[in-house]
Every structure is written in C-alpha cells, then in structure tokens.
C-alpha cells in the first residue's frame, strides 16, 4: 500500500509540475513576442517595405491634395514634386526608428524632417505673389503659415501608418516602455521557471521524459491550434481599416506575428514528440536489458 501511495503521490506531483510548465512555457513565448515587437523596430520596418506602404501613402496623398485643390487652390504637383516614393520610404522608416529610440521617454520625437513640404508651399506662395503683384502683408503671412501647417499635418498623418501619434494622444505610447520591461521580465522569469520545472520533472523520474514531453507537446498544440485557426480562417484580413497603407501594415504585422507563434508551436510539438519517442525507445530498451 505504501508503495502504491508513494507512486500515486509522485504521479500527482508530476502532473502538477507538467501543468505549471505548460503555462510558464506559454509565458516565455509571450515574453519572446513582446520583446521582439517592442524591443526593436525591425518587424515594423520590414513590413513597411514588404507591404509597399510608401507607394500606398503616395497614392493616398496624391488623391488628397488633388481633392484639396478646390479649397486651397494649390496644385497637387506643388506637394508631390517633393513627396516622392523614395522620400516617403525614408520619412516613414525615420519616424519608426525615432519612435523606438524614444520609447523610454514616452514622448514622440519631432524634428524638421517635413520642412521640405512646407518649403514647397512657401515657394509656391512667393512665386504666385510675384506673378500677380500680391502684397506680402499680414493676411498673406497668416495664410502661408496656415497652408504650411496644414500640409505638414496632412503628410505627417499619412506617413504615421503605425499610429504613434494617436497612441501618444491616448496615453498609450508612454506605457509601451513599461510593457517592454514586463515582456523582458516575462521572458527571463518564465524562462528560468520553465527550466526549473523541467529539471524537477526529470529529477522526480530520471529515466522518463514522458512528462516533460507532454508539457512541451501541450504548449505546442495550444499555440499551433490557435494560430493555424487564425491563419486558416483569414480572420486577420477581415479587419476593416479605411487607409490602404494602414491596413496593409497592420495585417502584415499581425500575420507575421501569428506565423512566428505558429513556428514556435510547431517547434514545441516536435520537441515534445521527440521526448515522447525517446521515452518509449529507452523504456523498451531498459525493459529488455532488465
């Protein structure tokens, strides 16, 4: 009876450790993803390029300025001669990079990178005033400043496909640094605990890899099932976003992250299955030798 009782208690202990290991492995994965997304702009920069975001923004701005001509009387070419696709690619990459570099401050860094747009507006105003003998009075100066600010604001909103400005106004951007720190803590903390739990499982039954394999396989199964369902159902593509560039970048980022989680899930499945297989092989070998 004592031997059976001891075996039963050991089974319960291993079951508890296995369940805990599943949660901490998933916590480690969450830490990996959070650190990957918030710790480096590489994902966002790659998606800007992959989704041809600059070309979509260029097309959108072209339409916007052509529509505004009826109210501003400024031809779209005034802006678009400056706003080339290459220029937009540089500005968008610059904005993302600067946002990440200033993540710790919680405030977006602003510079003079859009001055080329307002300078184009000013050049047009001066040329128009000279051709039509307009006096550069207070009204002229006020209207010029208004159009310069409007042009910069329009371009700034268009290139901010990641909505950093919106996040800052909503108070979210200032919390991203804290979220990054929590992700790193989750990565390190859950990773260490997962190693400890795995070691305990091996210690409670040195010759058996069954429980460790079970935990990893279960973690992989959860990740694989959920991510495969999301990708298979095209749920990400069903999001409704009016701006083509924002939609492309958002869905691209979400798809890339889902694929990353799917790859991690498959890896855990393979490792878990390998541990099961080795447990069966060594178990049979041990029984034959006995």
pLDDT tens figures, 11-56: 888 889 999 999 999 999 999 999 999 999 999 999 999 999 999 9
Predicted pLDDT at 109? 62
Tokens 């200033």 sit on residue: 102
* Widest distance between CA atoms in the chain: 108
Lowest mean pLDDT, pick from 29-33, 124-128, 169-173: 169-173
C-alpha distances in angstroms, 130 versus 124, 127, 139, 162? 10, 5, 16, 41
Predicted pLDDT at 79? 94
Q: What is the dihedral of CA 258, 263, 264, 265, to 10 degrees?
A: 90
Angle of helix 244-289 relative to helix 210-233, nearest 10 degrees?
150
**For residue 41, how many other CB atoms are within 10 A of its CB?**
20
Predicted pLDDT at 83? 94
- The answer to whether 201 and 21 have CB atoms below 8 angstroms apart is yes
Please state the separation of Cα 49 from the chain's center in Å. Answer: 14
Predicted pLDDT at 179? 93
Average pLDDT value for residue range 238-251: 91
Please state the separation of Cα 20 from the chain's center in Å. Answer: 28
- The answer to whether 243 and 60 have CB atoms below 8 angstroms apart is yes
Rounded to the nearest integer, the mean pLDDT of the chain is 88
């Amino acid at each position: 009876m004592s031997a059976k009782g001891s075996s039963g208690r050991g089974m319960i202990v291993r079951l508890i450790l296995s369940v805990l290991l599943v949660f901490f492995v998933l916590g480690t994965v969450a830490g990996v993803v959070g650190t990957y997304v918030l710790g480096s702009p590489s994902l966002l920069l790659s998606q800007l390029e992959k989704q041809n975001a600059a070309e979509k923004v260029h097309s959108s701005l072209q339409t916007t300025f052509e529509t505004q001509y009826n109210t501003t009387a400024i031809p779209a070419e005034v802006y678009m001669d400056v706003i080339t696709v290459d220029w937009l690619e540089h500005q968008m990459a610059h904005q993302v990079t600067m946002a990440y570099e200033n993540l710790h401050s919680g405030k977006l860094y602003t510079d003079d990178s859009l001055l080329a747009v307002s300078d184009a507006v000013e050049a047009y105003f001066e040329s128009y005033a000279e051709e039509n003998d307009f006096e550069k009075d207070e009204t002229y100066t006020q209207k010029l400043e208004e159009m310069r600010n409007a042009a910069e604001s329009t371009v700034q909103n268009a290139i901010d496909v990641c909505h950093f400005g919106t996040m800052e106004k909503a108070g979210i951007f200032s919390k991203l640094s804290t979220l990054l720190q929590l992700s790193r803590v989750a990565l390190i903390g859950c990773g260490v605990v997962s190693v400890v739990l795995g070691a305990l499982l091996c210690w409670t039954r040195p010759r058996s890899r069954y429980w460790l394999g079970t935990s990893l396989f279960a973690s992989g199964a959860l990740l694989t099932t959920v991510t495969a369902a999301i990708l298979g159902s095209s749920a990400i593509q069903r999001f409704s976003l009016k701006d083509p560039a924002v939609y492309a970048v958002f869905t691209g980022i979400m798809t890339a992250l889902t694929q990353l989680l799917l790859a991690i899930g498959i890896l855990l499945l393979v490792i878990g299955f390998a541990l099961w297989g080795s447990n069966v092989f060594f178990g049979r070998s041990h029984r034959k030798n006995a």
